[in-house]
Amino acid sequence: MHTGRIDMVGGTGFEPVTSAMSTQTGAQQLDSYLSHMGLRGLSEHYVNRVSEFLTRYIRHAPQVSPDSATSFLRTFLNRKPNTRARYATYLKGFLRHLGMTLDLKVKVPRQLPSFVAHDDIAKLRESLGAKHTHKSSQSRDLVLLETAIKTGLRRSELANLLVADIDFKASRLMVVNGKGNKDRVIPLLPSLTARLGQLCVGKRPTETVFGLKARSLGMKFYVWAKKVGVPLHTHSFRHYFATTLVEKGASVRVVQELLGHSNLNTTQVYLSVTANHLEEAIGLLEPMNNKQGLTTISEEVWNT
């Protein structure tokens, strides 16, 4: 059994492998795994990334095993910890599918999410509202921005949002097969529900709301931010959603549920972000209604 460190902790171990799997070539094993991922409903973008990386591994490794996986991962010591951790996750999932265990952990320094200023969001709103483009495109982009900052959806979730995923009567949307293959429900502000309803007029239930692929959507965010000169990126609107809720007094567990985080620790980093900007937060806070439940997202959250 191989044991070693790559700025990582752990070794490798084996579990029984079925005879059918053990006689397959690496390429056949990879095809089996990718088919399995497809059946799980994972995003095409994610599956393609995994496929590209594991194809490189198959070409590198004489045989699929925990030892060869560890050896392959060593070739990426010059990459960032987050990148190595992602690669380790790809390899673990592949080997687990084949009945093997890769006991390996990459040390990733804990980083706080970047703080998003309310003024930056205001500049973006103003710029999108004033741009001279096709009216329907402008309307869509404005609704896209409002949806991003008032639901906390990930880029892929925004791109995959279907008309059928929105319950216009109940003012809520369903995130289907989000990260980790999890579903969740997010309440919508009445004003956002109305704007989404206008955007979806004439669309079939199976059509996407915004009609954009994840890559195109991410490029829009990049262009918007660059045009107005604000330090925003694809995930910034999700950060803004989370930190605004925390500033307003929503419980971390409620924010965790809305963001779709499996681990509460992932959500708690937003407490540190807002703690580092107390002066700005206090200046923005409006008086809270003590009778208002923390599980409800109301218009008050966004009156800033």
Question: Which of the following is catalytic: 154, 155, 220, 239?
Answer: 154
Question: Which of the following is catalytic: 33, 87, 240, 270?
Answer: 270
Q: How far from chain centre, in Å, is Cα 206?
A: 22
Q: How far from chain centre, in Å, is Cα 273?
A: 19
Question: Which of the following is catalytic: 79, 118, 195, 235?
Answer: 235
Question: Which of the following is catalytic: 84, 220, 248, 261?
Answer: 261
Q: Is 154 in the active site? A: yes
Question: Which of the following is catalytic: 45, 125, 179, 213?
Answer: 179
Structure tokens at 56: 């490189």
* Of 252, 270, 218, 221, the residue nearest 111 (C-alpha): 270
Q: Cβ(212)–Cβ(159) under 8 Å?
A: yes
Q: Cβ(240)–Cβ(259) under 8 Å?
A: no
Alpha-carbon span 206 to 165, nearest angstrom: 9
Q: Is 179 in the active site? A: yes
Alpha-carbon span 208 to 196, nearest angstrom: 12
DSSP state of 187: E
Alpha-carbon span 24 to 97, nearest angstrom: 13
Indicate the angle between helix axes 44-60 and 81-97, nearest 10 degrees.
Answer: 80
Alpha-carbon span 63 to 204, nearest angstrom: 48
Alpha-carbon span 87 to 56, nearest angstrom: 11
Amino acid identity for residue 22 in this structure: S
Q: Is 238 in the active site? A: yes
Q: Is 235 in the active site? A: yes
Which of helix, strand or coil describes residue 218? helix
Question: Which of the following is catalytic: 84, 123, 238, 248?
Answer: 238
Q: Which residues are tagged catalytic?
A: 154, 179, 235, 238, 261, 270
